[in-house]
Chains A and B, each alone.
Chain A
């Protein structure tokens, strides 16, 4: 496939991503990374070696045909590149922005051995944005009439959206039920506008509607209809993609003081309800001059960077291990640091202090040391005696993780669960302990990633097709 005389671009580093200046961007919610120009994309695409056995592809949970799409970009066939990605990934504009590529495709890229890997994520984003700028003349499949069957998808995050899209393409009549008034899951209520513009998510939702998928918002399954009632309403199979929306708290004193938020509440107010535009939007948000965000994942970085944009003078990340163990994407840690977020590493909160009126006035912490590795393989943090100290803050945001919401599990008899409340499934198919009910994404794994949720949605769509074919 490679032309004999092609000379790859051997520069060791990625073509830099244009980005908003940190001092400017902390005053707005506009996208930080601005995306490649066509010239920059071609130049970066030229760095790909077109390996015969591309390791990058094996690192991708949905096996995007990486060297093939990159080659198309190099040849200036940007739309074709987009269609190539679409063969395995329904949401490239989203994945190109938020996937942890450094742990997936790019981690395995041959170019990464001497220098930086090919910027696969940025190229994926480029192809998707380019297609969108041309009005995205996507080929719509012609669905058989009558449909092959009726499937209900509960939850409209990446798992549900992917499963619904694949099933619709296979010829099923699909209805998505979403609890919120806007579909998209964490993509709309969690990940902030400056990292994933909501119009990008909206585009994907619109595509889904074009495929004939019906989306019913304001439908809390387990309350308005149970899963079993969906069956009696004529759905032949059900996919549960309800995510991991239940916030964890630290169980330390002072957690119910005014000014303490779960990251879910803080981010939902800002992203879904647009509290950063209060009073134009009705939902308020309250932020102190100094803010502590507890946790070290993407959620913590997002909360910290939102806090800055709301005008906080000082924002701390309080994390009990060292930077090395932080689960957040490197790029996000880097962006947060550039913007002035201060990292309090090896620091564990023990108590939130309040004033007489019930408002936060400080966070008492202890310093930690790393001890022996624990079950997770990470070195276990242990408190240093006598290291208590206080951070003066008026706002505390708790971003230490979420677990699956028990609403569906509690109202669906016979659905087997794991210890932490995840739905038990056969990994290859997403089949749960109940025939006809499939599940995937964070509702199964606990908080994970967009691409893993999509992978699970895809596998389940295939399995649902097989299950219903066998019943026909």
Chain B
């Protein structure tokens, strides 16, 4: 169980691993996540299930090395085991009855919408996909996602590929050109999801975002992942992680995810020092 059967580097600091866990693979659905721990003294961190193979009994996780846990996870190789893996957690995405959808993936978000795009395609939904990143090296999964999209648009901040600018510029253009969608799905940095939601609100386009607050248990037990949606407190791990982007209080979530910034920095510095010393 939890053995890494495949590992791939998608972009600098973005890695894909395929992990054996028959039970999770059997149950996983698009939109759900796992919580894992990489060593005995490790933190529990949530990561989206970006793909699963029920026959092989594996789930795929794509993650960005941003701090200690994800860096340690990135150092595991094929054949290594992940200490603890729990899931599938969270509610699956509702993808029923959609004719035409626009999906926006920012940075790593592309990985996180991949399984949804695939599932929508399977159901016969027409998907327009906009993926963006800071520059062309950070665009991931372009080739993989393309076959499932009716149209694929790319935006980079520096213009090294596709449109020069933000994914929201492309989205705005598509909407202004008269493209009609039943739904927008936006996954990426909080600020991107906020901007997308503000834009689609003006067009009355229902928008689903995937929230990534800090979590501990992932089962509704600690309340750490709470956020305000439409004036009500919700727990992202059990009520989400997907919510109506027009109702989420993004500013609050952005503040809450900064709660442990100093500690995260300390942990990372210590890790880098010990990695340098070759421990």
Contact = CB atoms under 8 A, between A and B. Distances in A.
Interface string A198-219: 0000000000000000000111
A375 interface: no
Given A273-B43, A284-B260, A256 B217 contact: no
A133 interface: no
Interface in A256-300: 256, 258-259, 261-262, 264-265, 268-269, 273-274, 278-284, 286
B219 A256 contact: no
B86 interface: yes
B85 A405 contact: no
- Interface secondary structure of A, over-half rule: loop
A415 interface: no
Interface of B: 23-24, 27, 37, 41-44, 68-69, 83-89, 216-217, 219-224, 226-228, 233, 238, 252, 255-256, 258-260, 263-264, 266-267, 270
B255 A245 contact: no
A220 B23 CA distance: 11
A194 interface: no
B88 A224 contact: yes
Nearest to A255: B233
A258 B224 CA distance: 10
Contact of A258 (B68, B87, B256, B267): B256
Given A256-B252, A258-B255, A358-B252, A223 B27 contact: yes
Given A224-B24, A273-B43, A247 B223 contact: yes
A256 B86 contact: no
Contacts of A179: 86, 217, 219
Interface string A381-406: 00000000000000000000000011
A277 to B, nearest CB: 8
A279 B266 contact: yes
23 contacts: A181-B86, A217-B84, A220-B219, A224-B87, A224-B88, A245-B220, A247-B223, A249-B226, A256-B226, A256-B227, A256-B256, A262-B223, A264-B223, A268-B216, A268-B217, A273-B216, A279-B266, A282-B43, A283-B216, A284-B260, A358-B256, A407-B219, A407-B238
B150 to A, nearest CB: 33
Contacts of B220: 245-246, 405-407
Contacts of B221: 245-247, 264, 268, 405
B35 to A, nearest CB: 9
